[in-house]
Copies of this chain bind each other. A is one copy, B any other.
Amino acid sequence: MTTDTPARLLQLLSLLQTPREWPGSELADRLQVSRRTVRRDVDRLRDLGYPVQATMGADGGYRLVAGKALPPLVLDDEEAVAIAVGLRAGAGHAVEGIEEASVRALAKLEQVLPSRLRHRVNTLGTATSSLVYGGGGDGATIAPETLTVLASATSGHERLRFSYEAADGARTRRLTEPYRLISAGRRWYLVAYDLDRDDWRTFRVDRVGDPFATGARFAPREVPTGDAAEFMRATVWRAAPSFELDVTFDASAAEVTRRLPPSFGTPEATGADSCRLHSTVQDSLEWAAMRLAMAGVDFTVQGPAELAEQVGKLGRRLTRAAPR
């Protein structure tokens, strides 16, 4: 009656996303239309590529099942908050290959998230963000807001203003045209054209402060090496130290693989109950020491010396903490 067809279709979609079965009569009742129209609407959804499965016979009904295309997700408040918090927690530490998509999804969600929910996400999110890094590491945590602002500006071709902290601690203001946001290991980088310096730069996102999009759009230039990721690697490689891990474990290779994060790679077996791991770690050995400690198996650091130092330091701290 008063509600037009598109609105009704959206409402139907939201009802069908509930994990239960809906008999046509109940849908007709909820949508305030005849049963015939419900059947027609279901047909329309199927035409759109969202397969609605109908179980026939007595106490049959409709339910939305997996198809070729993902239907628009209709979320209630709590679910939206849960997703936002989950993505924020995951945005920082990354899941090996989907970091950029994760940030894109977060930016998309936060763009339309009602402000009352935004507050809840903020309070829950800050309580959680430390959970991922465990408060350890080198303190180079990134605010999820920063990532989403950068992602939005990048894909919207909007100029970006922020303050940047150089390696010597000096802060400068920058006006840039952002091109690509890249996640590499535990770090995020922004490849952008610096309008003040009049040249291309790679920025470490954890050193970016108070970013905001000016609203002015820009016409994309050509990236120097043709590929932003390549440019990032070329400019960053010389600066970032990396360490070659060498650790032996008193447990089977399978056991160790299961208990370590996948980014560590797989150890080679040196016996039924022992194995040896060679791996490359970005730049924070404190983080590596934590992960090794959390594995819950006996191990010995063969190298480098810096890692042994970190592990020893942590061990002494714990020994001190426990009264005999």
**What total of chain A residues lie within 8 Å of the partner, measured CB to CB?**
111
B111 adjacent to A65 (CB under 8 Å)? yes
Interface check A173, CB cutoff 8 A? no
A318 adjacent to B320 (CB under 8 Å)? no
| A73 CB, nearest partner CB in chain B, Å | 4
Interface check A261, CB cutoff 8 A? yes
| A307 CB, nearest partner CB in chain B, Å | 8
- Known contacts A112-B71, A298-B320; is-contact A90 B86 (Cβ 8 Å): yes
| A50 CB, nearest partner CB in chain B, Å | 8
A18 surroundings in chain B (CB, below 8 A): 108, 155-156
| A276 CB, nearest partner CB in chain B, Å | 14
B87 adjacent to A108 (CB under 8 Å)? no
- Known contacts A19-B155, A292-B321, A318-B293; is-contact A85 B79 (Cβ 8 Å): no
A311 surroundings in chain B (CB, below 8 A): 318, 321-322
A70 adjacent to B124 (CB under 8 Å)? no
Interface string of A11-28 (1 = CB under 8 A from B): 001100111110000000
Among B70, B90, B299, the residue within 8 A (CB) of A114 is: B70
A299 surroundings in chain B (CB, below 8 A): 321
Q: Which residue of B lies closest to A310 (CB)?
A: B322
Q: Which residue of B lies closest to A216 (CB)?
A: B59
Interface check A130, CB cutoff 8 A? yes
A95 adjacent to B124 (CB under 8 Å)? yes
Interface string of A201-216 (1 = CB under 8 A from B): 0000000000000000
A21 surroundings in chain B (CB, below 8 A): 156, 217
A217 surroundings in chain B (CB, below 8 A): 21, 59
Q: Which residue of B lies closest to A50 (CB)?
A: B112
Q: Which residue of B lies closest to A289 (CB)?
A: B318
| A23 CB, nearest partner CB in chain B, Å | 11
A321 adjacent to B294 (CB under 8 Å)? no
Among B14, B70, B81, the residue within 8 A (CB) of A80 is: B70
Apart from A95-B128, A135-B296, A298-B320, list 19 A-B contacts with CB within 8 A: A4-B44, A20-B155, A50-B112, A71-B112, A72-B74, A73-B108, A79-B101, A79-B105, A82-B87, A83-B83, A83-B105, A89-B89, A96-B128, A131-B261, A134-B291, A298-B317, A300-B321, A302-B323, A311-B322
| A residues with CB within 8 A of B | 4-7, 9-10, 13-14, 17-21, 44, 47-48, 50, 59, 64-75, 77-83, 85-87, 89-90, 93, 95-98, 100-102, 104-105, 107-109, 111-115, 117-118, 124, 127-128, 130-131, 134-136, 151-152, 155-158, 217, 258-262, 286, 289-296, 298-302, 308-309, 311-312, 314-324
